[in-house]
Amino acid sequence: MEILSNRIQNMAESETLAMTAKARELKAAGKDVISLSIGEPDFNTPDTVKEAAKKAIDDNFTHYPPVGGYADLKEAICEKFRRDNGLDYKPEQIVVSTGAKQSIYQLVQCLVNPGDEVIIPTPFWVSYKEIVRVAEGKCVYVQTQIENNFKVTAEQLEAAITPRTKLIMFSSPSNPTGMLYTKEELRAIADVVVRHDNLFVMADEIYEHINFVGRHESIAQFADVKERVITVNGVAKGFAMTGWRIGFIAAPTVIAKACQKLQGQVTSATCSIAQKATVRAMQMDPTTSADILNMRKVFQERRDMVYKLLCEIPGLKVCMPQGAFYFFPDVSSYYGKHFGDKTIANSTDMAFYLLNEANVATVMGSAFGDDRCIRLSYATSEDLLREALRRMKEALAKLK
């Protein structure tokens, strides 16, 4: 008998984390690697949030919290949804978990039966696919194109829906493309959803505060579809709190209760101290908070710089991101080219070529369902970004 279950043997490793681990290993071995692989703000957590965490320890918030989160945190999250998104939720509709990834995992476990279809507009964030596969759901990929800013249309969604479709999963601002859905586009998607009974939407809004074009739009704002929407958010990206591992959902009560039940068997609850820190983060108004506004400004400046530098590299197709901190350029014009005995056949070859030849870590587009592209995170300093892009340009020019 095999030691490991089929379930885990069939699961792919997270490529974002794997490429980051490789970059770390090479750095530890003395190589001058610049990592544009993981999506992690290079800012520190705001001081006010750190103070709240220190106080939580001093106040002895060191015991098991309630499974779905402390009452004051749930209240603070409800208030955040009212203030930032115009959405009304009750505390029992909120479940706080150990990162948005756990929130999504639990949600899929609670909604998807084996054989149920889950529509995933492609490119998608790397973990959606494996989370659905572990639940024995069937991923239905709907390919979007760079020419359409990588956005799925209502017509495409309608065409992909069958009587077995249970869930649609997408992120806006998008990881990996940085594109945002407008209110009109979300309305058109909502129109499709309401026409089909028992179809739900997982709206991943973790990059909400990193938006360069204006107001964040939630699909849950439309009353006729709100009961079918599970909004996922967290503090990792917008508040530079990746290590604190706090994510949450706002969901119809029956779904929130199910996720909470599962969480009770898995983690009991998420870290008490991180929860108290998150109460403070939720109180930060994104329209006035200097921490949030400054991070967004810096990301926008970097985006503009990287866009210019990417456009100077021959053969790339680049879409100007409107949010998050990623570029997802199409590098496929280099496929079939060689350097020494190395041929670049796909995005994995390209990511490894750039890692070995340019000492720049990226993530292969295949991890996000689009083998024509690679993903670059620009959540790092301007100097490092400039140098990384210089190295990439030089390495790509060697391909003949």
What does the alpha-carbon distance between residue 259 and residue 256 come to, in Å, rounded to a whole number?
Answer: 5
CA distance 25 to 18: 10
Work out how close the CB of 375 gets to ligand GLU at its nearest, in angstroms, rounded to a whole number: 8
In this structure, are strands 165-171 and 138-143 parallel, antiparallel, or unpaired? unpaired
Beta strands per DSSP E along the chain: 34-35, 94-97, 117-122, 138-143, 165-171, 200-204, 229-234, 247-250, 326-327, 338-339, 342-343, 360-361, 363-364, 374-377
Return d(Cα 33, Cα 24) in angstroms, integer. Answer: 8
CB closer to ligand GLU out of 134 and 188: 134
Query: What is the contact surface with ligand GLU in residues (CB under 6 A)?
Result: 14, 16-17, 38-39, 101, 125-127, 175
Q: How far apart are CA 76 and CA 81, in angstroms?
A: 9
Side-chain-side CA neighbours of 138 within 13 Å: the count stands at: 11
- Cβ closest to ligand GLU, residue 182 vs residue 348: 348
Secondary structure E strands in 71-158? 94-97, 117-122, 138-143
Nearest to ligand GLU by Cβ — which residue? 39
Nearer to ligand GLU, 39 or 329 (CB): 39
Q: How far is the CB of 125 from ligand GLU (least distance, A)?
A: 6
Instruction: Tell me how far, at minimum, the Cβ of 298 lies from ligand GLU, in Å.
Output: 18
Is 41 or 65 the residue whose CB approaches ligand GLU more closely? 41
**Shorter beta-carbon distance to ligand GLU: residue 126 or 373:** 126
Residue number with CB closer to ligand GLU (38 or 199): 38
Least separation in angstroms between residue 128's CB and ligand GLU is 10
- For residues 159 and 152, give the distance between their C-alpha atoms in angstroms, rounded to a whole number: 11
Least distance from ligand GLU to the Cβ atom of residue 182, Å: 23
Burial classification of residue 282, based on how many CB atoms lie within 10 Å of its CB (0-12 exposed, 13-18 middle, 19 or more buried): buried
Pairwise CA distance, residues 341 & 343, whole Å: 7
Complex with ligand GLU: residue 199 or 274, whichever CB lies closer: 274
Structure tokens at 134: 């572990």
Distance CA 179, CA 185 (A): 12
Provide, rounded to whole angstroms, the least separation between the CB of residue 126 and ligand GLU: 5
In angstroms, give the least distance from the CB of 176 to ligand GLU: 7
Q: How far is the CB of 37 from ligand GLU (least distance, A)?
A: 7
Q: Which is nearer to ligand GLU, 53 or 232 (CB)?
A: 232
Say how far apart CA 95 and CA 73 lie, in whole Å: 10
